[in-house]
Amino acid sequence: MRSTTLSLTLLSLLHLSAGQPHHHHAHRHHARKDPIPKRDKITVTDTAHTTTTEVPEVVVYVDQHNRPIRTATETVVYVPASAETPKAPAPTTTTTVFAPSLSSKVVPVEQSASSTSLSSNSSTFKHVSTFEPIPTPIRSKSSRTTSHPSASSLPSPPPSPPVSGGGALHGVTYSPYKGAGGCKSAADVDKDFALVAKDYGVIRLYGVDCDQVATAYAAAKKHGNKLFLGIFDINSVEQAVSTMAAGVNHDWSIVDTVSVGNELVNNGGATVSQSLAALSQARTALRAAGYQGPVVIVDTFVAILAHPELCDQSDYCAANIHPFFDPNTGAHQAGSFVTSIVGKIRSKLADKSKRIVVTETGWPWQGEANGAAVPGMDQQSAALSSIKSAYADNASDVILFTAFNDMWKKPAAATFMAEQFWGMGGRYSPVDE
């Protein structure tokens, strides 16, 4: 199937144009504070159907700047083009919707008091999404340069290096910050690794501050892990590569992947062309420093569906996917939600056989409910079990979020007061106990 961008004009969506992602501390999930009312039905004129058909769709609402606002599972009614009724004049505010097919199963038609009319300019459309992103380490941010080549002017990536992964263990994300503030020491990092190393293959970092590359390298070397390193500030690529090289003592064999940015396009921190330019710059600098492994851009799947070139130019596709931020997805559905999204991403890639790695996914064990997505220890266990089951045959293609509770973050209503409590099994780092 193909994806289609639809224009939705609704009086009830007038307030969405003001919705903007909130910028918080590093690696934080951003969510809209104001709830978006769920519609009974969305009607789509579709020439591919000969009879009126209803299916559940995961719809991503975005504002007039094409920034994701929220996702919701809606009932979408496909109406044959011949049955289309004249449209009444629409309000002036327009909101774009990505309407991904959740499944191909036709559901029974239910009566509804209201419906919304959409017009599709393509016979089929799909694409699932969750929307929320995840943070980035606390640090001062330099002003971003704007003199970057456009995406179309960038050279095609060289043949991909041997891809990473292939192990029997999942990966896990890790942050080197103390809940009370400041950086964890080498001893602190070693204690953390000692608790999780045996359960995970790759440990994902996000930046190069706090001497985290050197301390994680020593711990990974000791405990037998690989590292997924990250360049957080794409305005300091050369400096970050230099810090990485020194941090691993030029022993690149321990490095599984290097990422460039984290959800920058989704959060408005960089344009697509800026991200692609940084990717090219990082790949060149890393190759010169002796690293021959994968270099990727990490962004949310919403950003990737809208801009698949982020994956096409990367050595593999790296997407953050968080089922908890879909209010219609329960914990037991987390695995099927993630794999459904991965399938939609694959359909957008130039190379349909390209490796796709879920670089963040998980479930909080404490916080406020987001519709059907309810935090809790039992719910987290169910969600993680669902995700692991979905990736039983390719565990290394999913990185779980996160190793320990992030007590250095601040709770916020926008993220359901769950920001600090994504540590699997409710685990705290020894330094925060």
Q: Which residues are catalytic?
A: 360
Tokens 């590292």, located at residue: 227
**Measuring CA to CA, which residue among 326, 328, 327, 331 is closest to residue 300?**
326
d(CA 379, CA 387): 12
d(CA 267, CA 299): 9
CB 136 within 8 A of CB 232: yes
Residues in the chain: 433
CA-CA-CA-CA dihedral for 382, 28, 4, 55, to nearest 10:
30
Tokens 């690696």, located at residue: 27
d(CA 192, CA 210): 15
Sort strands 356-362 and 68-79 into parallel, antiparallel or unpaired: unpaired
**Measuring CA to CA, which residue among 359, 365, 369, 373 is closest to residue 401?**
359
d(CA 57, CA 74): 5
CA 417 → CA 6, 24, 352, 366, 370, distances in Å? 33, 13, 38, 8, 10
CA 220 → CA 136, 186, 189, 400, distances in Å? 22, 12, 10, 17
Radius of gyration of the chain (CA): 22
d(CA 207, CA 171): 17
